[in-house]
Amino acid sequence: MTPTAGYSDPRALAALIAKLREVTCGLDRKLTFMEVCGTHTHSVAKAGLRRMMPPAVRLISGPGCPVCVTPVDYLDRALALAVLPDTIVCTFGDLMRVPSSGASLEQARAEGAQVEVVYSPRDALELARRRAEARVVFLAVGFETTAPTIAGALAEAEADRVTNFFLLPGNKTMPQVMRVLVDDQELEVHGFLLPGHVSVITGWRMFSFLADEFGIPGVVTGFTPTDVAQGVLALARQAADGHATIANQYGRVVTAEGNPQARRLVDRFFEPADSAWRGFGVVPGSGLGLKPEWAHRDASLISVELPAPREPVGCRCGEVLRGVVDPPECPLFASGCDPELPVGACMVSSEGTCSAWYRHERWAGAGA
């Protein structure tokens, strides 16, 4: 038994879905709930949950996949660094195949650029220790969840004076972009499945503004199928009753205040910065930049020549990320853009919305 096996009980799930049917059957409108976490996208697709939902419930994905929201110019800079002499770029695996204005990191590596896939920023730090003659640049992407481990690697690099360890800051934070989302007139969302992993660090109270200022309910939700179904049911009940509060379904690991120790570590190195999101443009205060005293770790200050950023023609990733269109509505989906040769970033990572649809749901409606 894996530790979460108890949360994947089919009978429990069937009971939850029956209740969900009950709650939504009398409604005269469709309820749209958005998740904003790539792991939710992935687990909904993996369990086949979307098609188990009652007809009145629509689940959509927002900007929760860190790879997908990373803008083209960030990748252009990463590529430019990777071809510098004595410079090694370290990255989480799913950035490898994302197209930039030119090649992807994977293509650049095949042509001789020094790019290493790592599982954690600490792996990059270890590489920096082993390769003292080279500059090791870690591509710091991800949300509040990955920021503490990145800060931890920085703290270790400072303590041990590993001077050749750098970051290309690209971390993003959730609240500001969610404000942009709920302000979006095109988008109709009746509730948010809030990201469980992010909330472990930030605490669920961070999302209170959704209910308090915008009257939109939210439920911090875990990642097993029954977790997600419980989250959806809680949202449906609130939406049906016209309530809006922030609830915490993932109480086994998430508290109101989160993990202050992890946040202190992040605050030591990072400060809020304006950040560009694919599909949203620059959102003020929505990223994490290195504080000025850590400029000696900041690879964005290394001078490189950059091409003019070029977004792929015809790609609707931006609208997919804002939840305005489902992937099949993009003209490139499965005809010109697939996981083999992705055009847009959403087709790359298995938690990318387009990739998850391609792999798990592109037959929907064809009598699966």
Partner 1 sequence: MKPLQRVLLAHGGGGRLTRQLVEELFLPALENPFLATLTDGALLPELPPGRPALTTDAFVVDPPVFAGGDLGYLSICGTVNDLAMVGARPLYLTWALVLEEGAEGALVATCTEGAARAAAEAGVAVVAGDTKVGPRGKGDRLFAVTAGLGVAPPGRDLRDDRIRPGDVVIASGPLGDHGATVMAHRHGLDAPHLASDCRPLSGLVEALCDSGAAVHSLHDPTRGGAVAICHEVAGRSGLRVRLVETDLPIRPEVATVCDLLGLEALSLACEGRLLAWVDGGHAELAVAAMQAHPDGVEAAVVGRMEELPAGAPPVLLETAVGGERPLDLLSGHELPRIC
Subset of residues 280 to 309 that bind partner 1, contact rule: CB under 8 A: none
The answer to whether 177 contacts partner 1 (rule: CB under 8 A) is no
Cβ nearer to partner 1, comparing 137 with 211: 137
Pick between residue 8 and residue 208 the one whose CB is nearest to partner 1.
8
Does residue 171 interact with partner 1 by CB under 8 A? no
Contacts of 235 (CB under 8 A, 6+ apart): 31, 33, 190, 191, 192, 193, 217, 218, 219
Return the residue of 6, 48, 314, 336 that touches partner 1, per CB under 8 A: 48
289 neighbors 172 (Cβ within 8 angstroms): no
- Single residue of 141, 210, 233, 262 touching partner 1 by CB under 8 A: 141
Q: Which amino acid is located at 141 in the chain?
A: V
CB nearer to partner 1: give 203 or 217. 203
Q: What are the strands, taking DSSP E only, across the chain? A: 31-35, 57-61, 87-91, 115-117, 135-140, 165-169, 191-195, 218-221, 246-248, 270-277, 281-290
Closest to 33 (Cα-Cα) out of 328, 231, 279, 250 = 231
What is the token pair recorded at 106?
A: 């994977």
Q: Is the dihedral of CA 225, 231, 237, 239 positive or negative?
A: negative
- Asked if residue 360 binds partner 1 (CB under 8 A), the reply is yes
CB of 337 to partner 1, least distance (A): 12
Whole-number Å distance between alpha carbons of 366 and 151: 47
Strand partners, 191: 33
In the complex, the smallest distance separating the C-beta of residue 92 from partner 1, rounded to whole angstroms, is 4
Choose, by CB under 8 A, the member of 40, 77, 97, 263 that binds partner 1.
97
Kindly state the helix (H) or strand (E) to which residue 294 belongs, with its residue range: none
Q: Does 335 bind partner 1 (CB under 8 A)?
A: no
Measured CA distances, 94 to 105, 120, 139, 346, 347 (Å):
10, 13, 12, 11, 11
Interface of this chain with partner 1, residues 65 to 84, rule: CB under 8 A:
66-67
Interface pattern 224-253 for partner 1 (x via CB under 8 A): -xx---------------------------
Binds partner 1 (CB under 8 A): choice among 20, 34, 42, 233: 42
Contacts with partner 1 by CB under 8 A lie at: 1-2, 8-10, 13-14, 38-39, 42, 45-49, 51-52, 66-67, 92-97, 106, 117, 119, 141-143, 145-146, 197, 225-226, 338-340, 348-351, 358-363, 366-368
